[in-house]
Structure 1
Amino acid sequence: MRSVSHSVFKITNADADQMTEHYARTLSPVKVEPLLRRSLISVEDRHYIVGRCAIWNGRCHSGMKVTLSGGPDAYALYLPSSGIMAIEAGRKQLVSEPAVGLLGDMSCFDKLVLHADRSHIGMAFEKSAMIKQLSELLDAPVADNIDFADTINLATAKGSRIAALANLVWSCLDGDEVHETPSAFIERLLQAMMTMLLETVPNNYSTRLTGPISPAIPKRLKRAIEYMHANISSPMGVADIAEAAGTSVRALQAAFQQFKDTTPLNYLRAIRLEGARKALTDPANSQSVAEVARSWGFSHMGRFAALYHQSFGEMPSKAAKLGRGGSK
């Protein structure tokens, strides 16, 4: 469980240099300018950090321009309650006003322009946290950054749910300290927000996310499969696999049945046979059939040949011959 850190600031009638110095000290190096030449700047902000996420509620009374020298490696969500904010990101200009939220890659932000009386709830999620959440949803590694659509219509049903969840997170953080919400609960809400954004806001993974969804695979089942692959040529039984996965034999068997529709040993045999087949049909392979069989955990050649024929409809010797360019 992570602790929650909290900061509050209110600056009234500061000049641009004072604001630039303040942000450099508290957030990140930026250049701050007033919207009107030589005017003073007044802002206030309440800011929380929970694990790899940040949540804040800010108001800019006077308006200002903030030029970034390289934004954080995070995805930012802005949910306005009043006023207008524009973000320059390369050739794009994104505009947020009441009922229009923004979700984007902060590392691409060049300049933020906050007009007078702009207020919003902001949430930032480190890229590693968002990508981890996406990987869990897809049950697959994620190689590329997430490219979200820029604006969110908060007047729609989906948009209003995002805003409602953000307000719930904020109320849990910024409520009465006597009734302080456990940080573990807030972390779950932030995970729910990342999931909602990934599944609701169009992005370059939307097609994969809207495909058939399978239940999340338990960590102990993943550990069991990892153990099988790491020790593929070694003798192992169900008890060995269960011990390596940190679970009981019965629980392991139930997990394989539920999520893989097979038994642990049948799953192990399948990945061994598939590995042996790839090796035998590889033109660059110079090992004998027996050597390949042993490298994939088969010690009995007759048994290996029978299982191979049962799975692929041919003998391993024929597969090896074809893989090396032999005729049928």
Structure 2
Amino acid sequence: MEHAVAASASLPLSRYAVIATPDLDEARDEVARIFCPHRLHLGHGSSRFDARHHVAPLGDISLNYVQYGAEVEIDPGCLGDFYLLQIPLRGNARIEWAGQSFTSDAHRASLASPSQPLRMRWGDDTPHLIVKIGKAVVQRHWESLCGEPAGARPLEFEPEIALDEGAGASVKHLVEFLAQELSCGRTPLTTPFLAQAESGLIHTLLGQLPHNQSGRLGAERGDVSPRALRRAREYIEAHLPDALTVDEIASASGLCVRSLQVAFRQHAGQTPMAYLRERRLLAVHERLSDPGADTTVTSVALQFGFAHLGRFAQDYARRFGESPHRTLQRHR
């Protein structure tokens, strides 16, 4: 029987709470429904147990907050059909995967691939933000990224991720940003922004973190035809208000994502998504410079795909040297 969940509003993703129980057996069974069957045991000498699980489903991935309070040993074995990205918010966890063993903490995340057994020991008071990523969506993004199927070998990531710099810092910031947006209720689960965030996260994992097929991304693609790059730009111009992903732009241009990224870097000096953001900012500026009687900054920003208004205002001010409200006021 499920507990009535009354999680503290101060915890991440508290509006998506599904489990709050002091009972270890109930916690194990309920967490298994969301992740997979596993063994869960209290650590030696542990008695305080306070399990909470909050889960926000985002399509092919889910964002989770999990805590147990006490030290626990967790043994899910092979994950089967999903990858597991785990970021401790404090404390530490001992991770064993594919013969490797290391300590994960607020500076070092773990990323377990589904092909090898996983075992963990979470220390006392070691809550985690966890991203569950379907194996099928990783394979789909891989094929879009490099234009080739993953092949017979399972795609396996290096399990340790340093979070203080490089790609690991990007991953951490994106996961924390998603958690903050969902926790405060500003971003509903159905917003197109989340599809973009999902795509961005998986492409960062595949394109910037080490894995056993990274070498297939190492070689630069040859020159891309001007026609393909023109198709990409024309598609972006025709779909500025839409929730575009880099996969959709690549598909429309007839390129894989990797070739599209190389082409934009060589010929435009920026990524496809940076080009899209620039074109959207210019479209907003043009609209605010020739406003109608009912024009508002919010309506125009949302019209051109800026779901996060605070970030939009910052980007706009950097690009044009004034706030969007100031632009609108000057042209009233």
TM-score clears 0.5: yes
> Judging changes above 3 Å, is the alpha-carbon distance between structure 1 residues 171 and 213 closer, same or farther for their aligned structure 2 residues?
farther
Aligned partner (choices 57, 65, 73) of residue 49 of structure 1: 57
SS at structure 2 position matched to 1:148:
coil
Answering whether residue 120 of structure 2 is matched by residue 148 of structure 1, we say no
Amino acid paired to 1:19? A
Q: CA deviation at 1:37?
A: 4.8
- TM-score for the superposition, normalised by structure 2: 0.57
Aligned to 2:204: 196
Aligned to 2:140: 132
> Judging changes above 3 Å, is the alpha-carbon distance between structure 1 residues 26 and 145 closer, same or farther for their aligned structure 2 residues?
closer
Q: CA deviation at 1:53?
A: 0.9
Amino acid paired to 1:154? L
> Judging changes above 3 Å, is the alpha-carbon distance between structure 1 residues 27 and 199 closer, same or farther for their aligned structure 2 residues?
closer
Aligned to 2:79: 71
Q: Distance in 2 between matches of 1:106 and 1:148?
A: 10
Aligned to 2:70: 62
Aligned partner (choices 106, 110, 116) of residue 124 of structure 2: 116
> Judging changes above 3 Å, is the alpha-carbon distance between structure 1 residues 109 and 184 closer, same or farther for their aligned structure 2 residues?
farther
Q: Mapping of 1:258-269 within 5 angstroms?
A: none
- Measured against aligned partners, the alpha-carbon deviations of 1:159-192 in whole angstroms (never above 9, x if no partner) come to 2111111112222333226x53643220111110
Aligned to 1:84: 92
SS at structure 1 position matched to 2:47:
coil
> Judging changes above 3 Å, is the alpha-carbon distance between structure 1 residues 96 and 208 closer, same or farther for their aligned structure 2 residues?
same
SS at structure 2 position matched to 1:131:
helix
Q: Distance in 2 between matches of 1:181 and 1:22?
A: 22
Amino acid paired to 1:162? V
Residues 94, 150 of structure 1: 8 Å contact kept:
no
Residues 76, 105 of structure 1: 8 Å contact kept:
yes
Aligned to 1:167: 176
Aligned to 1:208: 216
SS at structure 2 position matched to 1:51:
coil
Q: Mapping of 1:231-242 within 5 angstroms?
A: none
> Judging changes above 3 Å, is the alpha-carbon distance between structure 1 residues 19 and 44 closer, same or farther for their aligned structure 2 residues?
closer
User: Whose Rg is larger?
Assistant: 1
Residues 73, 105 of structure 1: 8 Å contact kept:
no
| RMSD, matched Cα | 3.0
Aligned pairs, number: 216
> Judging changes above 3 Å, is the alpha-carbon distance between structure 1 residues 149 and 160 closer, same or farther for their aligned structure 2 residues?
same
Aligned to 1:19: 27
Aligned to 2:185: 176
SS at structure 2 position matched to 1:118:
coil
Residues 41, 64 of structure 1: 8 Å contact kept:
no
Residues 77, 117 of structure 2: 8 Å contact kept:
no
How many percent of aligned residue pairs carry the same amino acid?
17
SS at structure 1 position matched to 2:124:
coil
Bigger CA drift: 188-197 or 204-213?
Answer: 204-213
Q: CA deviation at 1:42?
A: 1.1
Residues 87, 109 of structure 1: 8 Å contact kept:
no
Amino acid paired to 1:130? V
Q: CA deviation at 1:57?
A: 1.7
- Which 5+ residue runs of structure 1 have no aligned equivalent? 1-5, 222-253, 260-328
Q: Distance in 1 between matches of 2:140 and 2:58?
A: 16
> Judging changes above 3 Å, is the alpha-carbon distance between structure 1 residues 213 and 181 closer, same or farther for their aligned structure 2 residues?
farther
Q: CA deviation at 1:83?
A: 1.0
